[in-house]
Amino acid sequence: MTTVSMTVNGKPVSADIEDRTLLVYFLRENLRLTGTHIGCDTSQCGACMVHVDGRAVKACSMFAVQAEGAEVTTIEGLAKDGKLHPVQEAFRENHGLQCGFCTPGMIMTAVAAIKRHGAMDRETIRHELEGNICRCTGYHNIVSSIEDASKKMSAA
């Protein structure tokens, strides 16, 4: 057992865990933050995407102890004061989801990509989404949602 401490969605957290605990299980089972999903569990689908020190990473492919001392943001940490994050709002307006299983990962990837690129064209967005799989939408409206959000956020 190791005591791990990090900041998750702005709050300091600490727990005694086995070293082999994956970050995604730590978030879902220790912290009950179940918005971070497990799709493939084999590093392919991006449903488990969270931010660690500002970078989008797959929480199923990282141990919680690797995030010792880090700032972690999950989908639950995006909305502020009861107001959706602009990327969440854009997914709602553009019908960017169907079943919603991939959506937390899509949104975490999009927020990190917008931070790097600012406003993005559709080709750039598709390249940035290479690590996220959606079995429902055909991606079209996901790309539209992110395009919309990236333009609104860069104009603001």
Partner 1 sequence: MIPYQFEYKRAKSLGDAQAMLAKNPDAKLLAGGQTLIPTMKMRLANPSALIDISKLAELSFIRVEGDALTIGAATTHGAIAASADVRRVLPSLAHMAAHIGDPAVRAVGTMGGSLANNDPAADYPAAALALNATIKTTTREIAADDFFTGMFSTALEDGEIITQIAFRKPRRSGYQKFANPASRYPMAGVFVAQIDDGIRVAVTGAGPGVFRVEAMEAALTKSFTPDAVASIAVASANLNSDIHASAEYRAHLVTVMAKRAVEHAVAHDGH
Beta carbon of residue 1, minimum distance to ligand FAD (angstroms, whole number): 23
Size of the site for partner 1 (CB under 8 A): 29
| x-marked contacts with ligand FAD along 40-79 as a string, rule CB under 6 A | ---xx-----------------------------------
Beta carbon of residue 107, minimum distance to ligand FES (angstroms, whole number): 11
E strand intervals along 33-113: 49-52, 55-58, 71-73
**Under the criterion CB under 6 A, does residue 2 sit at the interface with ligand FAD?**
no
Q: Which parts of 18-37 interact with ligand FES (CB under 6 A)?
A: none
d(CA 75, CA 37): 10
**Under the criterion CB under 8 A, does residue 67 sit at the interface with partner 1?**
no
Residue type, 34: T
Question: Shortest CA distance to 90 belongs to which of 117, 119, 116?
Answer: 119
DSSP character at residue 130: G
